[in-house]
Chains A and B, each alone.
Chain A
Amino acid sequence: MAYLDHAATTPILDEALEAYVATAREVGNPSSLHAAGRCARRKVEEARERVAAALGARPSEVIFTGGGTESDNLAVKGIYWARKGAAGRRPPRVVASAVEHHAVLDAVEWLERHEGARVTWLPVDDGGRLRPADLADTLDDDVALVTAMWANNEVGTVQPVAELAALAAARGVPLHTDAVQAVGQVPVDFAASGAAALTLTAHKLGGPFGVGALLLGRDVECTPLLHGGGQERDVRSGTLDAPGIVGFGVAVEAAVKAQQEFAARVGALRDDLVARVREVVPDALYNGHDDDRLAGNAHFSFPGCEGDALLLLLDAQGIACSTGSACSAGVAQPSHVLLAMGADDDRARSSLRFTLGHTSTPADVDALVAALPPAVERARRAGMNKSGR
């Protein structure tokens, strides 16, 4: 099998798995006061220090959560609610990029529908990149929160987070950034970025499923979503997942340590993939940014093909990839990211994402390049399902 969907999840690192299993064998709730509890607590705190050290944060700024979606929801809703009173009577505004992951997008839309939040969506250029000037233009005293991802999950575009955060900070507005795709692929330093909150998750960087963190500045007010114990700085409740957190800590440390080597090796592999895909399917359209891009990301539209049909055909040949866009009732919707980048409906529907990771090899690329042309030919014959939703 050629696994080209590392942005969905990437294989767990051996050292993370071993650390996870070793911790899972031991009894002890990190909140318990006895020796077993203390032992678990110690491991959790060591993991916290590892995550903090790897990402330029203080240990007290690391709030362990159940993963990226929880961290995004906590940051968006929690910071909004905490600042709702401060901004006066009028419901405050949320400024969000138009290309956010659904974990942010849906949380923002929920605030709009249920809390009366006003929302300003920041546009992107045709490479998927935000322009800091657009943020500067819209920032005002009524903004509760800016949320802009570090790197896009579909097309891999890396955003100028530090510039955006500096603009927000100058107006006293906290900026949250979803760095789920970024950690381990590009340098991520929480303090240097100037962000008030940063989301990351373990399973995208070689850790286990179901655990992640929100890096939250000490002075950033955040209303909890979960109540019951206040284990994590009173911002997040719930028994700490000691094995998951330990595995997460090991994975973050390893991924950050290997980042440069990863970017060079995987980036070269990706460049090879892109060049060869263009060679075998000359009319393939490359989506995303040429330079400000994650090393592992390649994203194409194949004119005249449905992304869904290509995925099915490649899957049947043992090649795992993704259309990259969200599903509604299992039916792929045209990607909001590509539409925001100015693509038309057909181009958005005909897209496919290939993402490489730490286990990727040239053989994976060979397999894709061999299977792709007949798949494109067949998908083209099947045509575009004139279903235009």
Chain B
Amino acid sequence: MSGGVDSAVAAARAADAGHDVTGVHLALARNPQTYRSGARGCCTLEDARDARRAADVIGIPFYVWDMAERFHDDVVDDFVAEYAAGRTPNPCLRCNEKIKFAAVLDRAVALGFDAVVTGHHARLGADGLLRRSVDSAKDQSYVLAVLTRAQLDRSMFPLGDSTKAQVRAEAAARGLAVAEKPDSHDICFIADGDTRKFLAERLGEAPGDIVEARTGAVVGEHRGAYAYTVGQRKGLNIGVPAPDGRPRYVLSITPKTNTVTVGPLDDLAVSTVAGDRPVWTGGPRPDGPVECEVQLRAHGAVVPAVVTLDPGRAMHAELREPVRGVAAGQALVAYRPDPLRGDVVLGSATIR
């Protein structure tokens, strides 16, 4: 229970359904002042109090679990290391994979609980398939797609059939004071939302070249390749105009040579994507190609594709139409369209 409206309503629904529910708030900051403060987002003492008050109203026990060390090692350090390696991580996804549905779930199961209930907007029905929320704008199936079958089997997402507006209305009707609390958007452990500054403090300045892809010419200098994301256009500070006079984008980041490679928009387009560490939860592991749709970043567009799981433990996607700005470190998530009951998550992998 983060102290937000979603987890509060999820807990209330689970309790109403007759489950023996205990509220758990995760203390994720080593020092509660390190991360967010005031009204912005999560991880604050105020959020812990909001969560406790919600648990009081629902009538369930409430505890704070200290996951600060695990969170720091598995999510924050991983976040920094991924950027240092030239990739663009998704920390919410990593937190689900390593903290909420791993460290928390393991502890809960050992203590005698059966499952972890969260306020994620996704559907997980009796068929065991993870599906998009009915609220497509709030759908969080992308950051849950990393969960394995074993993790899903011990998960409950009671909000998947409701829109965010319905959840807020229900919270108000239940007398939960968090009904009107604003959504959290940014990365919870970056207090001021300035990711570049956060990374600079941890990785230091590492000046290097910005190189034009087609000519190989050095067209500028950067202060740290980690500050760039594939597809980025703004803030490149290139003095020399491009040969064709058109804007340039980050095409790739090479940590080995500390180089940021830029080029025209067209060069950004890819039609094949490969991912490592695949999981497949949408059915038996497929032997051959699977016609499906893929999503390549959170809230990103969905494109038709053919996905193959190769024996070398990798996932490949042949995109039916090229996509621009595919960043290593994000998740490749395959969906089977199902307009009636919600698109089904087939599997996912981390983009290479």
**Which residues of A come within 8 Å of B, CB atoms?**
308-309, 312-313, 315-316, 327-332, 378-379, 381-383, 385-389
Contacts and interface: CB of A to CB of B under 8 A. Distances in A.
A387 B68 CA distance: 7
Given A316-B22, A330-B48, A389-B30, A309 B68 contact: no
Nearest to A329: B32
B266 interface: no
A316 B61 contact: yes
A329 B45 contact: yes
B111 interface: yes
A330 B27 contact: yes
Contacts of A382: 106-107, 110-111
B66 A389 contact: yes
A331 B111 contact: no
A329 B61 contact: no
Contacts of A329: 27, 32, 45, 48, 64
Interface of B: 22, 25, 27, 30, 32, 45, 48, 52, 61, 63-70, 106-107, 110-112
Contact of B66 (A316, A331, A378, A383): A331
Given A329-B32, A329-B48, A385-B107, A312 B66 contact: no
A388 B110 contact: no
A387 B111 contact: no
Nearest to B25: A330
Contact of B111 (A327, A330, A378, A386): A378
A226 to B, nearest CB: 26
Contact of A378 (B63, B65, B70, B110): B110
Contact of B64 (A309, A313, A315, A330): A330
B41 to A, nearest CB: 16
A312 B27 contact: no
20 contacts: A308-B65, A309-B107, A313-B111, A329-B27, A329-B48, A330-B25, A330-B63, A331-B68, A378-B110, A379-B111, A381-B111, A382-B106, A383-B107, A385-B66, A387-B66, A387-B67, A387-B68, A387-B69, A389-B30, A389-B69
Given A309-B111, A385-B66, 8 more contacts: A312-B61, A329-B48, A330-B27, A331-B27, A331-B64, A378-B112, A387-B66, A387-B69
B206 to A, nearest CB: 32
A313 B67 CA distance: 19
Contacts of B68: 331, 387, 389
Contact of A381 (B32, B48, B110): B110
A281 B43 CA distance: 37
Contacts, number: 61
A389 B65 CA distance: 13
Question: Chain A at the B interface: mostly helix, strand, loop or mixed?
Answer: mixed
B32 A387 contact: no
Contact of B65 (A315, A379, A385): A385
A309 B111 CA distance: 8
Contacts of A383: 107, 110
Nearest to A310: B111
Contacts of B27: 329-331
A296 B198 CA distance: 51
Contact of A388 (B32, B45, B65, B69): B69
A316 B21 CA distance: 11
Contacts of B66: 308, 331-332, 385, 387, 389
What 10 A-B pairs are tightest by C-beta distance, nearest first? A330-B64, A382-B110, A387-B69, A381-B110, A331-B66, A329-B32, A331-B27, A387-B66, A382-B107, A382-B111
A367 to B, nearest CB: 18
A155 to B, nearest CB: 23
B112 A313 contact: yes
Contacts of B22: 312, 316
Contacts of B25: 330
Interface centre among B22, B67, B68, B106 (most CB of A within 10 A): B68
B188 to A, nearest CB: 15
A308 B63 contact: yes
A381 B64 CA distance: 19
B69 A312 contact: no
A91 B76 CA distance: 43
A378 B22 CA distance: 16
A250 to B, nearest CB: 32
Contacts of A332: 66
Tell me which of B22, B66, B70, B112 has the highest count of chain A C-beta atoms within 10 A of its own C-beta. Answer: B66
A302 to B, nearest CB: 14
B189 to A, nearest CB: 15
A328 B112 CA distance: 26
A331 B67 CA distance: 10
A308 B67 CA distance: 13
B71 to A, nearest CB: 9
